[in-house]
Chain A
Amino acid sequence: MKKWNMIIDVAKCHDCNNCFLACKDEHVDNEWPPYAAAQPWHGHRWMNIMRKERGQYPLVDVAYRPTPCMQCDDAPCIKAGKDGAVYKREDGIIIIDPQKARDQEALVDSCPYGAIWWNADKSVPQKCTFCAHLLEDGWEKPRCVQACPTGALRMVHAEDAEMTKICDAEKLDVLQPELKTKPRVYYKNLFRYARCFVAGNVVLRDKDECAEGARVSLAKLSGNNTTTVATNNYGDFKIDGLAENSGRYTLRIDYTGYGVKTMELDLATSLSIGMIFLQPAKS
């Protein structure tokens, strides 16, 4: 049985909001029984784009994480729903029945991803349906995916075994895997949002030149893993993919003819050290 999955590439999202707006175009003022009541004019974010800025000026980057309903295979909302208000279709899509779910505001809090929204006027919880009404109608993708201009959003209609292969091949992640909700929404390059970096700019003090090709090593104080990168022609380096609040590290910079520079740092979140000046080695 083929089922629906969504792959979201964080590295390809620049927050154009086409997904968010196409979702509103499809669902605001439109009833799609039996899958969805109309979305209110304002307030809901069935596709919720989260922003993460990393680092400090001038070494910064920014990532966006579009966040729809995860269409979990082991969904907390199904368990929380009364009278079968929430169910999973054979194609993997989770539907909150707009009739049966009336007045079940508790469903909003049942979702660990914050993907269920309360419609106060209709007294009904609502969320992304993967545009099930369109997929049934022969559409190959929901509105958000059709609207995405960068290829950050992609639908995969496949057997679960096939999807597992894709996950391995493309190194996909899910949000909060520790919850074991088994999401059908997968992320690529999630580190751009979820992890942090150490960056800096290495300068040869005596010549006032950018130190190109300096070796920069970052090692956890309490471990033996060392990551080494080289600075680029502007003397910039960036060591990415680190866990936030991961403790103390040693940063070491080597450049032929210059004294080794080491510093300790306590990593809370992305850190741009700024300019690091190297002095000529004493002969």
Chain B
Amino acid sequence: MHTVEKLTNGTTGGPVFVYVQDGRIVRITPMEFDADDAASWSIEARGKKFSPPRQTSLAPYSFAWKSMIYSPKRNLYPMKRVDFNSHGRRNCAKRGISGYERISWDEAADIVTNEIKRIKREHGPGAILSTASSHHLWGNIGYRHSAYFRFANLMGFTYADHNPDSWEGWHWGGMHHWGFSHRLGIPEQYDLLEDALKHTEMIVFWSSDPEATHGIYSAFESTSRRQWLKDLGVKMIFIDPFFNHTAGMYADKWFAPRPEAGNAMACAIAYVWITEGLYDKEYIAERTTGFDIWKEYILGKEDGVPKSPEWAEKECMIPAREIRVLAREWASKKTMLAAGGLGGWGGACRSASGNEWARLMISLAAMQGMGKQGSNIWSTTQGAPTDTRFMFPGYAEGGISGDVDNSAAGFRWVYRMFSVDQPTRSSINAPMGQHIPRLKIPDCILNGRYEWRGKGFCGPSIESQFHKYKYPADGYPEIQMYWRYGGSFIGTMCETNRYVKAYQTDRLPFVVNQSIWFEGEAKFADIILPACTNFERWDISEFANCSGYIPDTYIQCSHRVISLQKKCIEPPGESKSDYDIFAFLSKRLGFYDVYTAGGMTDLDWVKKYFQATDLPKYISWEDFFRKGYFVVPFPHDYKPTPALRWFAEDRPKDTPDWGPHPESQAEFGKGLQTTSGKIEFVSSSLRKFDPDDEERPLMPTYMPSWEGHHTTELYDKYPLHLISPHPRFSFHTMGDAKDSWINDVKDHRVLKEDGHYYWIIRINTKDAEARGVKEHDLVKAFNDRGEVILAAQVTERVPPGTVHSYESSADYDPVGEPGASADRAGCINILTPSRYITKDSAGMAPNSCLVQVEKYLGVAL
């Protein structure tokens, strides 16, 4: 019997033990703590004592990692498209069509670096476009902000900035009413678990499904807490067009407003509170501004339309009497508004009405005295008692890049990590350089020019999202090369046949894809560089700690767990770690010594990283290396500081939150980041920027969607409103396709007779009957933007008129011409609009999407 080693690693869905035997992974499990690990906290509330399980939880896609590691879809060798010749015919139009041939690493490196040198000489460094997929892998050394940015900064590149896809409405809307720019417009959540257990009587989950989306990265850490709250008798109301999985467990009442019309319900709730005097008048008077003006709007004195429940019923289809009962119950009970799944977020914020929704949520919570005992915006996922003083950075603090412009490295980390060696930054990937918005990559490549406001995640200040950009930036070249890191955008962005077309143009002479699996955009590369997973290299990380724009994210977890991500097995084939790929190529580009800080391996970086954290105060490197993980002790002198309690009580801020920047406040620590320091019903930042913007008025309003039931011409043609939330069983594209076991999950994909695993669309029984569609029939969902072939799930969990299909298919599999035929891999985002939320809100709105569905009768050849 060969010995089984029990090693440690980390994933986007939790830290893991990895059992390895003879160079092969036997099993991957959550971590069960032992007696030597730090003790757990406990909370006493309402005569009961609550303490978390002594083990970590793990997300479903993390249980499927072995199938992704040993996937037949792994890129094992460097590959070249057969009809690509960097010295001759490039045949760009054949991308996505032609096959590949194996080449050596030397040949791949020569082609790639010779092209880089040629392009830099002929056009300049800004002609290289690069961007990563979200949540590529887990690990602070190997993460995209770290190894990738370190290389890309040294090479020089135009970054395709990521729009804040999970924040959108909070970022472009909510932020203008309460600040929190350092959180992209979503609120702090400290210590709200204890507050809720002690005081809360009701939770309204609005566009919130934490059992499916796990806050972020935190698996099922908060599941037991929702069970505690339920056992205490806390009532749980769900507002979501889909009877979601958290609702399935806990709902006392479910409301399914028509998509894009839930805001009418929010306005009507405010109407009831105003007309019946059911709001916190003192709080409104002392802690907010502009309420009287907004009140006029709600009462209809501004536009002649009272936003009454009867008015709302016509928009959102929820009976007026039920809206009234909800409003009265909400006002009579200490209520947490779980807006989105993290405390903020939610599919409702990724829509044309997303800005309005986020700021309506803030408005409703303000009317009920947000920050007072038991009343807040809190999604049950964050706010566990935690030692926030223990310093271990999240991935967004830059790892080994030290990039102070494009990560949170400058807040505290870069000084600890790079007291001697060299951090990196790029003058191109900086506000004065050249940029492309991720959503508009195709427009930029195909049209050669684009203008917009706001570069990616606009966190430094409220005003930074107003900054104007254009492509090409003055004096910068057009893109000549695209170094794609990962390959998810056809599944995750919007109107994604555009990406296919952008790949097939001669305007893009060279495409490299660095990817673990042969899927999605990897199929459109000229050269494929095979990367390996984080189970095949060294790294270090903490459970659910991304940090950056979600400071102290680990307060979702029941314990702070830091793991050494041990190299469990050798990379398969000739695949390499991202770090090793970059180091290898940097030799040919002349900056190997700078990139590797004198030849450091990934394990050397891990050790250096360890030393720069607070870990050495508690555990030696040798002990950490041996045990593989560390549970941060819970302090005996812990004093809870509930989120926004300081604000409600008009005290200096006492939470461990990172922001706002002192420059943005009259007196640092007093009040919010808005000009007034208060919650502003009428936004002063929007007034200063563009007081006449009709798409984003100064105060939250009900606005019919630019793609919804009021766009009658389109609605007549495409009568079903598609919502496509973040997926449950994959994390973006991680876990899906690639022959992973996740495909066997009944509610993820459906295996049909032709051997394909089809993505699921959920359609109401009546809509299905009208189309002759039965359970698991193949259907075609389509609109003017494209067609997707899906398996129908006939259900009562969506109302008639609404269809539901998660976004983020990992693969793309057109039945005919790529970019112009139906996709049977399930890229629902082929159908969603690429239009920005508003002209100056550069965010995506995939939940503003009308489609038609019909039975699929096979390919017309």
Chain A interface (Cβ within 8 Å of chain B)?
12, 14-18, 20-22, 24-26, 28-30, 41-43, 45, 49, 51, 53, 55-58, 60-62, 143, 146-147, 149-151, 203, 208-210, 212, 232-236
Contact = CB atoms under 8 A, between A and B. Distances in A.
A49 B746 contact: yes
A41 B67 contact: yes
Contacts of A43: 744
B629 interface: no
B60 A14 contact: no
Contact of A149 (B223, B246, B252): B223
Contacts of B743: 42
B325 A17 contact: no
A146 B798 CA distance: 33
Contacts of B321: 203, 208-210, 235
Contact of A41 (B27, B256, B739): B739
Interface in B63-90: 63-64, 66-67, 70
A208 B313 CA distance: 13
Contact of B245 (A15, A21, A28): A15
6 smallest CB-CB distances across A and B, nearest first, come from A149-B220, A21-B63, A62-B248, A57-B796, A149-B57, A60-B796
Contact of A56 (B211, B220, B796): B796
A20 B744 CA distance: 9
Given A57-B796, A60-B797, A147 B67 contact: no
Contacts of B60: 16-18, 21
B764 interface: yes
Interface residues on B, range: 35 or more
A233 B211 CA distance: 27
Contacts of A149: 57-58, 219-220, 223-224
Contacts of A62: 243, 248, 797
B745 A233 contact: no
Given A28-B66, A62-B243, 9 more contacts: A17-B729, A25-B28, A29-B70, A55-B796, A57-B256, A143-B29, A146-B29, A151-B224, A210-B325
Nearest to A137: B4
A49 B748 CA distance: 13
B63 A61 contact: no
Contacts of A57: 256, 764, 796-800
A209 B320 CA distance: 9
A36 B55 CA distance: 28
B795 interface: yes
Given A28-B66, A62-B243, A150-B223, A21 B797 contact: no
Contact of A25 (B66, B745, B747, B798): B66
B249 interface: yes
B254 interface: yes
A58 to B, nearest CB: 6
Contact of B322 (A15, A42, A210): A210
B30 interface: yes
Given A25-B66, A62-B797, A234-B253, A14 B58 contact: no
Contacts, number: 132
Nearest to B55: A146
Contacts of A143: 27, 29
B324 to A, nearest CB: 8
B63 to A, nearest CB: 4
B666 interface: no
A198 to B, nearest CB: 15
A28 B67 contact: yes
Contacts of B751: 42
A53 B796 CA distance: 8
Contacts of A60: 243, 254, 796-797
B26 interface: yes
B329 interface: yes
Contacts of B64: 21, 24-25
A11 B807 CA distance: 28
Interface string B238-254: 00000101101101111
Contacts of A30: 26-27
Contacts of B742: 21
Given A17-B60, A210-B322, A61 B211 contact: no
Interface string B303-332: 000000000000000011110111001000
A34 to B, nearest CB: 14
Nearest to A30: B26
B63 A22 contact: yes
25 contacts: A12-B249, A14-B245, A14-B249, A15-B248, A18-B60, A20-B744, A21-B64, A22-B63, A24-B744, A25-B29, A26-B27, A28-B66, A41-B739, A41-B741, A49-B746, A58-B255, A60-B797, A143-B29, A146-B29, A146-B30, A146-B32, A209-B321, A209-B324, A233-B325, A235-B321
A150 B253 contact: no
A53 B82 CA distance: 50
Nearest to A207: B321
A235 B325 CA distance: 10
Given A25-B27, A62-B248, A17 B797 contact: no
B227 interface: yes
Contacts of A208: 320-321
Contacts of A51: 746-747
A273 to B, nearest CB: 14
B52 to A, nearest CB: 12
A149 to B, nearest CB: 3
A264 to B, nearest CB: 23
Nearest to B221: A149
B228 to A, nearest CB: 12
A12 B322 CA distance: 28
Contacts of A16: 60, 211, 220, 245
A51 B745 CA distance: 12
A146 B19 CA distance: 15
B327 to A, nearest CB: 12
Contacts of B256: 57-58
Contacts of A209: 321, 324
Contacts of B325: 210, 212, 233-234
A9 to B, nearest CB: 11
A15 B209 CA distance: 13
Nearest to B251: A61
B799 A58 contact: yes
Contacts of A236: 253
Interface string B7-32: 00000000000000000001111101
B243 A21 contact: no
Given A22-B63, A210-B321, A53 B211 contact: no
Nearest to A134: B27
A130 to B, nearest CB: 16
A233 B327 CA distance: 12
Contacts of A203: 319, 321
Contacts of B800: 57
Contact of A147 (B58, B251, B729): B58
A14 B248 contact: yes
Contacts of B795: 53
B581 to A, nearest CB: 28
Nearest to A11: B249
Nearest to B254: A58
Nearest to A63: B248
A45 B256 CA distance: 33
A205 to B, nearest CB: 11
Which of A25, A150, A212 has the most B CB atoms < 10 Å from its CB? A25
A21 B68 CA distance: 13
A28 B68 CA distance: 13
Nearest to A15: B747
A58 B800 CA distance: 10
Interface in B402-461: none
A29 B28 CA distance: 13
B721 to A, nearest CB: 15
Interface in B30-70: 30, 32, 55, 57-58, 60, 63-64, 66-67, 70
Nearest to B795: A53
A173 to B, nearest CB: 20
